[in-house]
Amino acid sequence: MYSEFQNASGRRGLRARRGFTLVELAVVIVIIGVLAAFGVPRFLKSVERSKASEAFAYLAAVRSSQERYLAQYGEYSSDISRLDIQYPAPAYFSIGTFAAGGTGSMQDSWTLTLTRTGASAGYGNYTVIFTDQGYDTSSGIQSLAEINPISNSYSSGGGSGS
């Protein structure tokens, strides 16, 4: 009679439960979905902000190089290839050409626009503009505060948009 209560493996009682129930798996999937719903948009915004920061860093390097060029030749360069930029070109932006800035002459002012190309997490092809005075508030990124790497208070210091 004792052998009737033992299973095939020699253990007594009911068979041990293995794995998860369908309800447990559904709860885990719902929790992961909720976490992803909050995390993915924040991640995409962070990635786009870092790409915009790359454009700002490049334009700051261009501005420094333009100032060195001005000191050496007495005017700003109209050709980006003549500058000694010590920073790689941004991968996610197309680089425009230099234009005369607020004074209308390349001798004492300039402007350069970078335009975001490719997929931009729903932000579209925005622009980042620098002048001889720095960041220009007429840039398209100005209206995208969530990805603009500089604060709005900083932008009041330069450019034709101020």
68 part of a folded domain: yes
Range of the domain at 125: 20-157
Instruction: Quote the DSSP letter at residue 17.
Output: P
**11 in a structural domain:** no
Residue length of the chain: 162
Tell me, what CATH number does 81's domain have? 3.30.700
Asked whether the whole model's pTM tops 0.85, one would answer no
pLDDT tens-place values along the chain, 162 residues long: 455 555 555 555 566 677 888 998 999 999 999 988 888 888 988 899 999 999 999 999 999 999 999 999 999 999 999 999 989 999 999 999 999 988 888 888 999 999 998 877 788 889 999 999 999 988 999 888 888 888 544 444 444 444
Report if residue 94 sits inside a domain.
Answer: yes
Does a structural domain hold residue 75?
Answer: yes
Total number of domains in the chain: 1
Name which of 113, 109, 57 is nearest 87 in CA terms.
57
Q: For 10-146, where are the alpha helices, taking DSSP H only? A: 22-73
